[in-house]
Structure 1
Amino acid sequence: MSLTSMVEGLLGQAKQLDAYLAEKKLPMPTWERDTLAELPAELQNVRATLSNDANNFAKLVRGPLMSAMDIAFSWTDVLSLTVIYHYKLAEAVPADGSASYAEIASKTGLDEDLVFRFVRAAMGNRIFAEDPTTGRVLHTATSRLLATNPGFGEALGLQLEEFAPAGSRVVAAWDKWGQNTSELNQVALSLANNTDLSTFQFLGKNPQRAKRFGDAMHFYTDDDTWDLRHLMAAFDWHALDQPGALLIDVGGGMGQVSQFLARHTKNLHFLVEDLPYVVSNAIKALPAELQDRISFTVQDFLEPQVVGKTADAVLMRWVLHNWHDVYCVQILRALIPVFKPGTKVLLYEYVLEDSPVLDQASRFGMQLDLIMLTGYNGRTRTAAQFHKVLTAADPRFVLTGVHRPAASIMSLIEVTWTP
């Protein structure tokens, strides 16, 4: 494919977006305003394709040497954004006004010369702009979002101040503990924080950082692609929704998923399992209208089930990705006491493609995989890798199918207990 034909493809996609904006009398996108965020769903897909194709075109034209150098030097962009986040530089610029470098320094406590250097560095990524007449700092759409959306800021901060520094210690962690360690506290994030604690334990002892983690997770998943309606679409809940049927929600936290499912079924009962402090809070918070169908019990999912009853289905949402294969096998085997022939095991996870992914959107899966490695010795898995773990746990775990509804980021791995 020639460069010209690639550009013509980009042009066709851009014309579709321009036509919609013109029809709706919306402004064309600028660095100051993201009007493309107002596109309908079908044109968001065109936007994503345009972005992906433009990115590939730029890398092709940039060439192999400079494309690799861009990656190698990208740590300087991370550093610039880290300083902006940590010192709240974006919040020092009025949302619809401007500020001098001295004014930003005065409000944030960062030396004026350092403000100048890091803000100027960020401008290369279209974060902040400078008035060519006055030399004062102005917002772009990105810096304004950072100044006005706390969730966005915490989502950036989690990567910038937790996982990025830890990521630089992955090789050192391998040198210390080996490349195949499965232990939760033998990870780069523990090494970066000079602790023998696991990531879960470390954050638990640092409330402010734990809050940032929670706020960031909420921001990441506050999107239609994560909506629980996709869980409903991924499985035949009607067949399971029979009088007397029981679903055990393993590691179900406050029961948010069970509450959602209860509101979309009629007969199914739910038993939500988690650790003691979670269960005590969850019982108090359970809406009265669901108390006859949802109950809670204390259960460490690394230990064999002790509930004393059998389940028609067991659900684990967003659990196994946090764990090494060794522990996933242990978690799965611990479920066996509640099984009967035909019990469904429903694993709701991000499932990687079986082949390499090159588009921007799908790269999230591999980014998530490296985050799991850095912080937990966990991983994001392909369907084949899930099958391998299930078989290692017990050959009676039979993978029935992997279902990913349209527009969903998550997939349902359907497993049937077949003795």
Structure 2
Amino acid sequence: MATRTEDLTELSNIISTSIKNYLSHVPTPPTLRPVPPIPVTDEVAVEVADELLVACRRVISLVEGPIRTALMMSSGFQDSIAMKLAYDMKLAQNVPPDGSPIALAELASKTGVPEETIVRVMRQLTSKNVFVETAPGYIAHTGGSAAIGLPGVGSMVAHLVDEGLTSAPHVSDILRENEFVVPEDSRKSAFSRAFNTNKSYFEYICTDNKPLGTRFGQAMKAMNVVDGLPNLVALYEPLQSAPKGTILVDIGGGLGHAAIAAAQKFPNLKCIVQDIGMVVSEGRDELPEELKDRVEFHENDFFEGQPIGGPGVYYYLKYILHDHPDPASKKILSHIVRAMDSSSRLLIDEHIVEERMGPDSHKLIPFLDFHMLLLFNSKERTEAQWAALLKGVDERLVVERVWRAKGTGNGIIEVRLA
């Protein structure tokens, strides 16, 4: 592996070979220009991309040296601040989307922001290939800056630089006050302190700040599209042979992205999407007409109970439990267990953290794990932690199989009652 060497020549050879291999497996060569993004789905390309990024980061660490590496890591918050300023100033929306340049003076006029302030933000962003200076005094989009304007992506950027960045400075105080043990209460998180509330994140965005809730929903909808085919359809083979009328309960399923894909793929399934209030209404409104006889939206709070039972029911949780500390996750699971029998299956679609740390681990996991800490006092879990969580709910729960998605660090944990 690239991370096992400190020889720059060897790393150079690894990078050169990986680039050739990568280019032979992607539909078009990557570009920094603002063109519609083409997802890389080829398994070889995805694996080679991870190896290439690891090798490139290794080179950067070696060439930067120990002091600069430490300093650059410590000042990474400046990138987030620059992105937040760009979002607040609406810079991306006022730069021509076709990649043609705009004069800084004209950008200042359009946004009402002093040119000098724009220049200082652009210095930070253009150094990371977000926007580009085409000539002195002129700025244009790169793919990275144009992506901010894509449906939902801007909402995710805003979520990260608003809730995430605002919460981040408080995590140290929260942990220090608790002797660096993470509190098992989402109402005592860095987010709660930052936003001066005694509510959890989801309670807050559903009651006190509904615009944040709407934006979060838009971000999650976009990420579902970016993720591509749901694991439920792409990985979990038993649904292919499910008897006619088999029920799939998509718990906390939002607008039903996964359930709709499953219903389209497996005509024998009846899918029930459970969520709360406004989300359920919106899901019903957007449901394709041809699926209305097999996909239903029910209002249900997963902390209060699970009303759907019976033999052979599949209970599906996608990215639900990582939002909650262990006690809350156990409460959610306990309601499902009471509705299950030996023929039921619980499907937990989540990230599965590797036990080993370092640059060879999946790059998304450390970011997500910290984000869960900031907003919810929760975490991404290892396979052993998932098993322990399940046993803490009911000793009869057994992991039947883990259906892993290649190159993503996530998968479906299939659970049954012994």
Superposition TM-score tier, normalisation by shorter sequence: 0.7 to 0.9
Q: In 1, are the aligned partners of 2:245 and 2:268 still within 8 Å (CA)?
A: yes
2:310 and 2:322 map into 1 onto residues whose CA distance is 27
Aligned to 2:153: 152
The superposition leaves residues 261-302 of structure 1 with CA deviations (integer Å, 9 ceiling, x where unpaired) of 233334343443333554455556555544444444443222
3-state SS of paired residue (1:340): coil
Q: Which has the larger radius of gyration?
A: 1
2:143 and 2:378 map into 1 onto residues whose CA distance is 32
1:185 and 1:44 map into 2 onto residues whose CA distance is 38
Q: Evaluate the alpha carbon distance shift between residue 386 and residue 304 of structure 1 in structure 2; reply closer, same or farther with a 3 A threshold.
A: same
Matched, 1:336 2:306: no
Aligned to 1:81: 83
3-state SS of paired residue (1:156): helix
Structure 2 unaligned regions, length at least 5: none
Structure 1 unaligned regions, length at least 5: none
Aligned to 1:250: 251
1:156 and 1:172 map into 2 onto residues whose CA distance is 25
TM-score, normalised relative to structure 1: 0.85
3-state SS of paired residue (2:57): helix
Say which of 94, 104, 107 aligns to 1:104.
Answer: 107
The alpha-carbon deviation at position 122 of structure 1 amounts to 2.4
Aligned to 2:410: 410
3-state SS of paired residue (1:411): strand
Q: Evaluate the alpha carbon distance shift between residue 338 and residue 68 of structure 1 in structure 2; reply closer, same or farther with a 3 A threshold.
A: same
Q: In 1, are the aligned partners of 2:33 and 2:141 still within 8 Å (CA)?
A: yes
* Stretch deviating more after TM superposition (258-267 or 390-399): 258-267
3-state SS of paired residue (1:303): coil
1:49 and 1:34 map into 2 onto residues whose CA distance is 25
Spell out the pairing of 1:253-272 with structure 2 (5 A cutoff): 253-272=254-273
Matched, 1:72 2:74: yes
TM-score, normalised relative to structure 2: 0.85
Aligned to 2:18: 13
3-state SS of paired residue (2:186): coil
Aligned to 2:201: 199
Spell out the pairing of 1:275-354 with structure 2 (5 A cutoff): 275-280=276-281, 282-283=283-284, 286-287=287-288, 289-307=290-308, 309-354=310-355
The superposition leaves residues 127-158 of structure 1 with CA deviations (integer Å, 9 ceiling, x where unpaired) of 333355xx222225146515653533332222
3-state SS of paired residue (2:152): helix
Equivalent residue letter for 1:275 = I
Aligned to 1:396: 396
Q: In 1, are the aligned partners of 2:233 and 2:261 still within 8 Å (CA)?
A: no
Spell out structure 1 runs of 4+ moving beyond 6 A. Answer: 18-21, 33-36
The alpha-carbon deviation at position 170 of structure 1 amounts to 0.7
Q: In 2, are the aligned partners of 1:304 and 1:334 still within 8 Å (CA)?
A: yes
Q: In 2, are the aligned partners of 1:88 and 1:108 still within 8 Å (CA)?
A: yes
CA RMSD after TM alignment? 3.2
Aligned to 2:239: 237
Q: Evaluate the alpha carbon distance shift between residue 113 and residue 230 of structure 1 in structure 2; reply closer, same or farther with a 3 A threshold.
A: same
Matched, 1:130 2:112: no
1:249 and 1:30 map into 2 onto residues whose CA distance is 38
* Stretch deviating more after TM superposition (402-411 or 117-126): 402-411
2:41 and 2:263 map into 1 onto residues whose CA distance is 31
